[in-house]
DNA sequence: TGACATTGGTGACGAATTGTTACTAATTCG
DNA sequence: CGAATTAGTAACAATTCGTCACCAATGTCA
């Protein structure tokens, strides 16, 4: 940083190869799952993330929607970029640049095509190093933003019980939450509204169904949080 | 979304042009400022963000460091991606894809080269639409992550007073904070440690200098926050 | 039919955190 | 010297949070 000589930059674009790599996440039996596709014979790894290049005139999230639709039959309504990579790590299509995108899909939506399968986030098979990085980033981003973005609601059907919702939060955060506290905080947030439907799920009292319906509330936030944790 | 036919994807990379666009942010007189460079004669807008294509074998943040170094003479130690764009909006070099990167620079570091200037975030001159989007995203990202990432410390020199730090938080958050609450929260966070130096800044009592020195503290966080605000 | 297990839902209380007021401390200015 | 200005903190009130205890509504099974 010591007074480096000022080199005038003559900026110019550069031709490279690019890929959109999609981490489709969905809550499966008690764990978040990622959708992988079987790689062609001869590839270094047997599985990979769904990916493709954006087509002409197509935005990145649009491309992610197309790719997901092709593999899952349903297209999630929520995407979030988790970082763009341009490093030495290997990509299955040898793209120079990879745009990582997380796609959130409710539990019941769509079904994987023949060569695709859900894998619990915690026990993935071997995938290309760059895909590994993208999956890890997607998990980190989702965990980090869960309380600032309506991520959890995108992993649930349009109506859900509060226990469902709490379950998703517990999946994302990786820890148990206290029922009464969770509900009180949710109440105060005006993020959901009750429907007049109830769901009976076998044993136990039936639960009321809610829907995501955030009320306008201007950000009159309080002091600083310093929620920074050094691992 | 209605049962779209499953189109088998034959993924393939695609050649495109790419640019790294850097939003260098620094606290200037009572406002966050962005570093812009004068565009060549004949360009649609007279100013633009510093940008260039990543060179061979160079990572994206590395490219951002090089670009910033060339324009500011000093290279910030902190970069954060704020999103990758691939849409119709115009880029000064007509890149297909733009990777937006925020670079945080302490107030005194470096000096703009001849054709570069600081502009307060609130009153920018006309720049290319894509650059406008990237600046807005950078501002949003920085505001959103300020309490989860040590962003504020990257806008300050290695040692600083607590009033300096509070000032940066107020800049980033765009609202005033209460002194006593701020300091109590900071204390509880173990993010800074006092040095044995004091700084006398003209009138008033001299202030103790602190440095950023996060102590390890495992994330034993509490309930959910639902800090989601719908504008 | 009537315990009992199971899941949903809530009131209430003490503990912890946060917002605020008000004060003390150390310096410059006139 | 006193007034003005900035730094720093103790202490109190208001609010929020974690927890416990309980009630409600259903299915199971003797």
Residues B66-100 pLDDT 10s? 999 999 999 999 999 999 999 989 999 999 999 99
pLDDT band at B5 (very low <50, low <70, confident <90, very high): very low
pLDDT band at A126 (very low <50, low <70, confident <90, very high): very high
pLDDT band at B227 (very low <50, low <70, confident <90, very high): confident
What mean pLDDT comes out for the span A138-153?
94
For CA atoms B199, B204, B208, B210, the dihedral sign is negative
Predicted local distance difference test score (pLDDT) of residue A79: 98
* CB of A223 less than 8 A from some CB of B: yes
Angle at which helix A179-189 crosses helix A162-173, to 10 degrees, equals: 100
pTM: 0.92
pLDDT tens digits along A164-174:
999 999 999 99
What mean pLDDT comes out for the span A103-131?
95
pLDDT band at A117 (very low <50, low <70, confident <90, very high): very high
Say if residue B1's pLDDT is above 90.
Answer: no
The percent of residues above 90 in pLDDT, for chain A, comes to 78
Say if residue A214's pLDDT is above 90.
Answer: yes
What mean pLDDT comes out for the span B151-178?
96
Q: What are phi and psi of B38, to 5 degrees?
A: -70, 130
Predicted local distance difference test score (pLDDT) of residue B9: 53
What mean pLDDT comes out for the span A64-79?
95
CA-to-C1' distance for B179 and D6, Å? 12
pLDDT tens digits along A79-101:
999 999 999 899 999 999 999 99
Cα–Cα distance measured from residue A100 to residue B129, given in angstroms and rounded to the nearest whole number: 24
Q: Report which secondary-structure segment, H or E, holds B50.
A: none
The percent of residues above 90 in pLDDT, for chain B, comes to 78
Say if residue A136's pLDDT is above 90.
Answer: yes
pLDDT band at A231 (very low <50, low <70, confident <90, very high): low
Say if residue B59's pLDDT is above 80.
Answer: yes
Name the residue of chain B whose CA is nearest to A63's CA. Answer: B86
* Contact (CB<8Å) A60/B15: no
pLDDT band at A11 (very low <50, low <70, confident <90, very high): confident
CA-to-C1' distance for A5 and D15, Å? 56
Q: Which residue has the tokens 């290279």?
A: B75
User: In angstroms, what separates the C-alpha of A50 from chain B's closest C-alpha?
Assistant: 8
Predicted local distance difference test score (pLDDT) of residue A40: 87
Burial bucket for residue B10 (CB in 10 Å: 0-12, 13-18, 19+): exposed
User: In angstroms, what separates the C-alpha of B41 from chain A's closest C-alpha?
Assistant: 14
pLDDT band at A220 (very low <50, low <70, confident <90, very high): low
The percent of residues above 70 in pLDDT, for chain B, comes to 94
Higher pLDDT, A56 or A32: A32
Q: What are phi and psi of A70, to 5 degrees?
A: -70, -25
Q: Which of B3, B5, B9 to mutate to test the interface with A (most CBs of A within 10 A)?
A: B9
The residues, any chain, with a CB within 8 Å of residue A163's CB and separated by 6 or more, are A207
Predicted local distance difference test score (pLDDT) of residue A30: 87
What mean pLDDT comes out for the span B47-51?
97
What mean pLDDT comes out for the span B105-120?
94
- CA A106, chain centre distance (Å): 11
Cα–Cα distance measured from residue A92 to residue A96, given in angstroms and rounded to the nearest whole number: 11
> Which residues between 127 and 166 in chain B have a beta carbon less than 8 angstroms from any beta carbon of chain A?
144, 146-150
- The answer to which of A39-53, A182-196, A214-228 has the lowest mean pLDDT is A214-228
Say if residue B212's pLDDT is above 70.
Answer: yes
Residue nearest to nucleotide D17 (CA to C1'): A181
Higher pLDDT, B111 or B217: B111
Of B109, B152, B100, which Cα lies nearest the Cα of B130?
B100
Say if residue A218's pLDDT is above 90.
Answer: no
- The answer to which of A10-14, B90-94, B156-160 has the lowest mean pLDDT is A10-14
State chain B's mean pLDDT as an integer. Answer: 91
Angle at which helix B129-145 crosses helix B162-173, to 10 degrees, equals: 130
* Contact (CB<8Å) B9/A67: yes
Predicted local distance difference test score (pLDDT) of residue A227: 85
What are the start-end ranges of the H helices in chain B? 60-72, 129-145, 151-154, 162-173, 179-189
* Contact (CB<8Å) A67/B149: no
> Which residues between 174 and 193 in chain A have a beta carbon less than 8 angstroms from any beta carbon of chain B?
177-178, 181-182, 185-186, 188-189, 191
């Amino acid at each position: 940083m010591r007074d480096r000589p000022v080199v005038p930059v003559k900026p110019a674009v550069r031709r490279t190869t690019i890929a959109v790599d999609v981490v489709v996440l969905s809550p499966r039996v008690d764990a978040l799952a990622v959708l992988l596709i079987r790689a062609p014979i001869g590839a270094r790894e047997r599985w990979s993330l769904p990916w493709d290049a954006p087509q002409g005139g197509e935005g990145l999230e649009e491309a992610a929607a197309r790719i997901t639709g092709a593999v899952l039959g349903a297209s999630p309504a929520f995407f979030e970029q988790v970082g763009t990579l341009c490093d030495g790590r290997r990509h299955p299509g040898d793209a120079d640049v990879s745009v990582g995108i997380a796609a959130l899909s409710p539990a019941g939506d769509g079904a994987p095509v023949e060569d695709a399968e859900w894998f619990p986030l915690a026990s993935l098979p071997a995938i290309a190093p760059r895909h590994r990085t993208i999956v890890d980033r997607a998990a980190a981003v989702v965990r980090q933003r869960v309380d600032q973005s309506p991520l959890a609601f995108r992993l649930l059907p349009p109506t859900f019980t509060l226990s469902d919702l709490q379950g998703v939060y517990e999946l994302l955060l990786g820890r148990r939450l206290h029922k009464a506290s969770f509900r009180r905080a949710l109440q105060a947030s005006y993020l959901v509204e009750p429907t007049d439907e109830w769901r009976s799920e076998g044993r136990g009292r039936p639960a009321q169904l809610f829907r995501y319906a955030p009320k306008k509330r201007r950000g009159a936030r309080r002091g600083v949080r310093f929620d920074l944790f050094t691992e």
